[in-house]
Amino acid sequence: MFCINPNCSHPKNSDKHLFCITCGSELLLNGRYRVIRLLSDKGGFAVTYEVTHNDVHKVLKVLNNDHPDAVRLFEQEANILPQLNHPGIPKGEGEFIYFPRDSQTPIHCFVMEKIEGMDLEEYQRNRQFRPIDEKLALEWLKQLVEILDVVHSNNLFHLDIKPSNIIFQPNGQLSLIDFGVVRQVTATIMSNNKNTGIYTPGYAPPEQEKGFAVPQSDFYALGRTFVYLLTGKEPTDADIYDPHNDELNWRKFAGDISEELADFLDILMARKATQRPANTQVILQTLSPYLGEKILIVCQTGIDKYHYKSISEAIKNAKPGTKIMVRPGTYKEGLVINKEVEIIGDGLRENIIIESTESDCILMETDKALVKGLTLRGKAGTNNNKYSTVDIPQGKLILDDCDITSDSLSCIAIHGVAANPTIRNCQIHDGKESGVYVYNKGQGTVENCEIFANTYSQIDIKKYCKIQVIQSKVNGKIVNKSSSRKNIIFVGIISIILILILLTLL
């Protein structure tokens, strides 16, 4: 076992000890974590260790700086990671305070998932800084943008993307780590506040160096990261950086890459944030043709064969695996998703509206699909019809970043043993009946959603059904639990009781 007391002269101990034989500090941290070894002490603000709990290996991050800004950033990472659910983001487990023997100075600790692999800086060093090829660059760029899409969808941005903060896992997938500098988008932009000024030279954009940042700041750092991967040289290297003119002349050191990819990376690294892509979906849409992906565009003013004026028409003509990008407009139709497709809003969610008066807005009739970035308005009640806004009798539908209401039945209905959707980052409100209604052995996951102002109950679950609720606000209160019928009906009963009390007072 290993002692984490920074003043301990001999931190290594045998496994049989509960207290350090040198300094007397406790070795079983927080009553559960056994420190196995030091992973890194070069992080500046923190030291990382490998720990075990119930034979599961994890990472312990220990703050070695008691400056208020350092403590705030450390606590920020501990609070943010549990909100983000993606295989490319380490899962946060919890924060605690540790006091070494004979010390009143607290040591801040944070435990997270251990991501196996090596960071891209170490990866390139082991390859003797040989440039990666274009195919791998495109695959990695897509992976990282998809991770950023989750971060940005939670109104956050990373602000410290660089090779040493990207882990290359043995399965070939990338993970983004070190969320200590993450900032909230809305708070930063609306208040025009400066950030902490913590950044990595060569990777941080001009606005971040001046103390400001926007979501597009991450795109700049991403572009600089791929310059490093494609050239084997740091962006501050004298071979490619001209400090006199503040120019990055990197192309001649890259391998055999297309002019299109080089141009796109330069767009990511544009000096002005407004000249970079507007959001992650724009980047993914740009990358799709180079990755052999199929894309259809839905636009109510479509003028060529690649544009469809209705989403239903696009679904009809799509092949499995197609991405359907929906541009702003009000689409008065009900969608039957009967093949594996991705339907993604190409613009602000509030400007991309699907309304249906004669059917569900969405009926899931396939094994797997994604619906993201849409406003779904169930208007069936207008004609006295009875439909839920989203009806899921089967499949693993991912419903992400949608605003859902219903003036007929429930906002979302999940039913049948084959139904197992994931509903995340959604606002589910003003349902005529329930926000989420689960029956007939249905199951699913509700993650990071806001569910409120539904008439009967926020989540109504019937016998033999199960919903896992993760970091979601139900009537304004954070809920984290696997819910059975008893759990959820309670939410509905509380709502009814409150209504009765209000009526009595009136």
3-state secondary structure of 147: helix
Task: Give the single-character DSSP code of 239.
Answer: T
C-alpha to C-alpha distance for 179 and 90, rounded to whole angstroms = 10
Q: Measuring CA to CA, which residue among 173, 193, 174, 175 is closest to residue 184?
A: 193
Q: Torsion angle of alpha carbons 185, 474, 90, 6, nearest 10°?
A: 90
C-alpha to C-alpha distance for 10 and 150, rounded to whole angstroms = 42
C-alpha to C-alpha distance for 428 and 99, rounded to whole angstroms = 44
Locate all alpha helices (DSSP H) within 293-389, ordered by sequence. Answer: 311-317
CA atoms within 13 A on the CB side of 506: 6
160 in catalytic set = yes
C-alpha to C-alpha distance for 165 and 167, rounded to whole angstroms = 7
From 119, 160, 346, 391, the catalytic residue: 160
C-alpha to C-alpha distance for 245 and 237, rounded to whole angstroms = 14
C-alpha to C-alpha distance for 107 and 306, rounded to whole angstroms = 58
Residue 354 burial (10 A CB sphere; 0-12, 13-18, 19+): buried
Chain-centre distance for alpha carbon 34: 30
Q: Are 380 and 355 in contact (CB under 8 A)?
A: no
3-state secondary structure of 468: strand
Q: Active-site residue numbers?
A: 160
